[in-house]
Amino acid sequence: MARQRKPKGRPVSGWLILDKPIDFGSTEAVSKVKWLFKAQKAGHAGTLDPLASGMLPIALGDATKTVPYVMDGRKIYEFTVTWGEERATDDLEGDVTQSSDKRPARADIEALLEKYTGVIEQVPPQFSAIKIDGNRAYDLAREGETVDIPTREVEIHRLTLIGCPDENSADFEVECGKGTYVRALARDMGRDLGCYGHISALRRPFVAPFSEDMLVPLSELTALEEVEGDAERFAALEAFLVDTSEALANLPHVPVTDEQARRLKLGNPIILRGAHAPVEEPEAYASIGGRLIAIGEIAEGQFKPRRVFG
């Protein structure tokens, strides 16, 4: 029988709510954080383009099991659209593909906002991670191909015009659901206004259920590379971590005892007692002392674990 390979790295778990800097890719950021923590596993919830800054939640260890719950959360973006040019990437990186001397009046921009609020149809950018016949759209676009990307429904909860610094640009804030491309929003508004447009600045300050005060600048993490002692350095890094259960803040919570936690870890259901005990919930989580034990469902007065945590 083959010997089971021991995982490389430290079994550290939790969420790091990184404030990603501009000109730093999401995959690059995850790799850097994983290396700093010497973590066995790492992943992120929601890609940020290299030219975008802001909240990039990074899961370490067991927290990677909760990534889908953060991916489904609402997000807020602050962005600037520059009018007069449409670009291949729908942001500053791409070549200009369309141009116009027309500039929109503020009233015309405001009149357009309602069209982009609610559930809307959106075509993702050519330079996006959408898969077309097994290939990433951005890989095909880099090879010079123009691909037919199907429209899809996305939800815009709120779109606000913050201001117009000059006739050439406008600042917005959008609160949206999973899968929304802000670059596509800028592209489509520019087309509707007859002047073209592209993203010239983009920041994400919020990804539910995490808050802006949890943000950790990358510079604060890399500064700890100067600490020589491993124990001291890792302790300082781990002080920035948010408990894994924070990712599940929007789910019903079941506090459990030590004995119940032991049963759940073995994959066994537990009976929920008390007048206020929930009876039916498709998804909930159980924890003890702030430590995540399991994610599961509540049915027939029992919590039934589907995924357990160490």
Q: Which of 19, 49, 62, 91 is catalytic?
A: 49
Q: Beta-strand (E) ranges in 127-217?
A: 131-132, 135-136, 152-166, 169-176, 197-207, 216-217
Give me the phi and psi of 70, to 5 degrees please: -80, -35
Alpha-carbon 55 to chain mean position: 7
CA angle (118 as vertex; 115, 122 as ends), nearest 5: 70
DSSP one-letter string for 9-71: SB---EEEEEEEPTT--HHHHHHHHHHHHTBS-EEESS---TTEEEEEEEEEGGGGGGHHHHH
Which tokens belong to 11? 């079994």
- Per the annotation, the verdict on 49 as an active-site residue is yes
Which tokens belong to 94? 């791409």
Beta carbons of 266 and 248 less than 8 angstroms apart: no
Q: Rounded CA gap, 310 and 308, in Å?
A: 7
Catalytic residues: 49
